[in-house]
């Protein structure tokens, strides 16, 4: 089984950490379902100060850059925009991270990272990514 993984960071605005944490303690059920329907297998957020680290795993390739977001994703971004650094006043500014190590148990069905052929490669011209 191939797992497609992506990690990135985002930045909160000063004083927004408490509201950001509270919002993510009560993620909307329709947003959760939308993520599952989109093929997201796992999605984790971690925060240190104003920096948010996100890691997402899928069982299918990531959609191409420029794929329009869902209506519920747009609503979530609108709710989060006052709390985060954004690209256009809406979409969170994301800095993609390069995977440098992955431990895959020998009895796992997951392919090691070096055997993945269709990994997400962000489009450097996409203003969502820097």
59-118, pLDDT tens digit by residue?
Answer: 889 998 889 999 999 999 999 999 999 999 999 999 999 999 988 888 877 765 544 444
How many distinct helices (H) and strands (E) make up the chain? 3, 4
pLDDT (0 to 100) of residue 112: 58
DSSP 3-state of 11: strand
Q: What are the Cα distances from residue 85, in Å, to 1, 82, 128?
A: 35, 8, 11
Give the whole-angstrom CA distance, residue 31 versus residue 122. Answer: 23
22-69, pLDDT tens digit by residue?
Answer: 999 999 999 999 999 999 999 999 999 999 999 999 988 999 888 999
């Amino acid at each position: 089984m191939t797992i497609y993984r992506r990690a990135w960071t985002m930045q909160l605005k000063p004083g927004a950490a408490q509201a950001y944490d509270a919002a993510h303690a009560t993620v909307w059920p329709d947003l959760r379902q939308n993520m599952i329907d989109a093929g997201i297998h796992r999605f984790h957020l971690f925060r240190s100060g104003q920096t948010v680290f996100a890691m997402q795993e899928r069982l299918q390739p990531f959609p191409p850059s420029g794929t329009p977001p869902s209506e519920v994703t747009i609503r979530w971004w609108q709710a989060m925009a006052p709390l985060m650094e954004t690209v256009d006043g809406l979409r969170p500014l994301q800095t993609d991270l390069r995977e440098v190590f992955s431990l895959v148990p020998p009895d796992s069905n997951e392919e090691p990272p070096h055997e993945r052929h269709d990994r997400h490669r962000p489009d450097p011209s996409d203003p969502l990514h820097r």
